[in-house]
Amino acid sequence: MTLFRSMTCAAVAALTVAAQTANAQQVVLDVTGWKGNEAEPAGIAELVSAFEAANPDIKVEFSYISRLDTDVVLPPRLQGNNAPDVMMTDMPLVSIWGDAGLLADLGTDSEWYGRLEPSLVPSVTTGDAVYIMPLEVIGMGNFVNNGLLAQAGIENAPTTIDELHAACQALDAAGIRPLIFTGGFSAPLFVIANGLEQTDNAAALGMGEASFVESESFNASLDVVRGLIDNKCVDPDGQAGLDPWSTALTEFKAGNFAMMPQGAWNIADFSSVEGLDYSFAPIPSGKDSGVALDLFGIGWSMSAQTEHAEEAARFIAFFSDPENLQIMLDAESAYSPFQGGASGLPDLASAYDQARVDGGVVMYPFAVLDWPKALEGEIWDSLTGFLLDTDKSNENVLERWDEAVEDSL
């Protein structure tokens, strides 16, 4: 018995030493991201665990840093000697950090680069370098409460402006508030979608080579907003205090409004609400398809300072595997950035899917750097003021947009 116990203790000690040795040989990857928390899990915890299981020589230490905090927290680390190995980024961040030499070139010879959707290749390629591996494209469209529409005798989500006007009038007559239209997000989505659908010079507008003031499409888009108010779609005074990121979402989930332009990232949250019968449709526009306003969202980038480039590249490539990426797409209700058409959207988004098939796709211009980031905040602010005073001229609003572009050049 004593011999057995001593052998057992010796075996345990040997296993402990072996485990400690293995742990000591592990490379620890410092990874940061603004998804992966309880509010937006994005499948990251599951994928990190799967990566570690497939790569026992690597330990991932993931830190959640909000998108707003990323702008503040990471630059000092990147410029010092404490940079993460891998960071969640988007194109505005890549533009700044890549140009400053703070990001590693992931290589256009990477296996995943050759599988990217051709429409994304120019956006993620900087000269001969690529500083980000895209993870998803997320739709921004019109959330529709099917039950409320049915109460007003409306069978399908409106996809044209005329259909939207008719729906709003029917909803208003039935005592149902038709549309959440906050200046801080939903109104800009609507105006940008309708303006860009009628023009092919998005990049020229963002570079100051064309003027918003002189743009027929954006002047018409502001006129469409006035039409929404005239047709009982929007009560600007009643919505002035709605926070698009909290109150507005709560109001839609509570069934207090029939429609709301917002992003597909809300699908998981909305689907958790018992009894909420809703769908995700394109933004109504002048064309029959409506607009599928696609947002090139997040990706992984590698620090130029990393001492674990091979392991970091393995981590990044792991997410490009279709089976692995599908976990994130399902959690995010997103489309794959790679060829093959993979999607994580549920059936309730079939109308948005159809708009993409019918050629109604418009890329959100800030996410692909067609428009400067400073313009985005200006659009939100100016449309909030416009909704409260639509007697303002279009020129009064659009001049501010042109000034924001000029200041960014």
Assign residue 172 the CATH number of its domain.
3.40.190.10
Q: List all residues 6 or more positions away from 399 whose beta carbon is below 8 Å from its beta carbon.
A: 212, 213
Dihedral sign from CA coordinates of 399, 401, 406, 407:
positive
In a domain, 339, yes or no: no
Angle between helices 44-54 and 322-332 (to 10 degrees): 160
Dist CA 171 CA 179 (whole Å): 10
Backbone angles phi, psi at 279, to 5 degrees: -140, 165
Residues constituting the chain: 409
pLDDT at 187: 96
In a domain, 340, yes or no: no
Domain that holds residue 167: 140-294+346-408
8 A C-beta contact, residue 194 and residue 285: yes
42 and 146 housed in the same domain:
no
Structure-block tokens of residue 42:
């994005």
- pLDDT tens digits for range 374-387: 999 999 999 999 99
- pLDDT tens digits for range 354-372: 999 999 999 999 999 999 9
In a domain, 6, yes or no: no
Q: Which residue's structure tokens are 């089976």?
A: 323
pLDDT at 4: 37
215 bridge partner residues: none
In a domain, 243, yes or no: yes
DSSP label at residue 113:
G
Ordered strands of the 133-134 beta sheet: 58-64, 27-33, 86-89, 299-302, 133-134
8 A C-beta contact, residue 278 and residue 348: yes
Q: How many domains does the chain have?
A: 2
In a domain, 338, yes or no: no
In a domain, 103, yes or no: yes
Distance, CA of 372 to chain centre = 17
Backbone angles phi, psi at 338, to 5 degrees: -100, 155
Dist CA 7 CA 5 (whole Å): 5
102 and 242 housed in the same domain:
no
| Positions in the chain short of pLDDT 70 | 1-24
What is the pTM (predicted TM-score) of this model?
0.86
Q: Find, among 349, 401, 367, 386, the residue nearest to 187 by Cα.
A: 386
311 and 289 housed in the same domain:
no
DSSP 129-177: EE--EE--EEEEEEEEEHHHHHHTT--S---BHHHHHHHHHHHHHTT--
- The strand ranges marked E within 22-82 are 27-33, 58-64
pLDDT at 241: 74
170 and 105 housed in the same domain:
no
pLDDT at 23: 55
8 A C-beta contact, residue 343 and residue 353: yes
pLDDT at 119: 86
48 and 153 housed in the same domain:
no
pLDDT at 11: 47
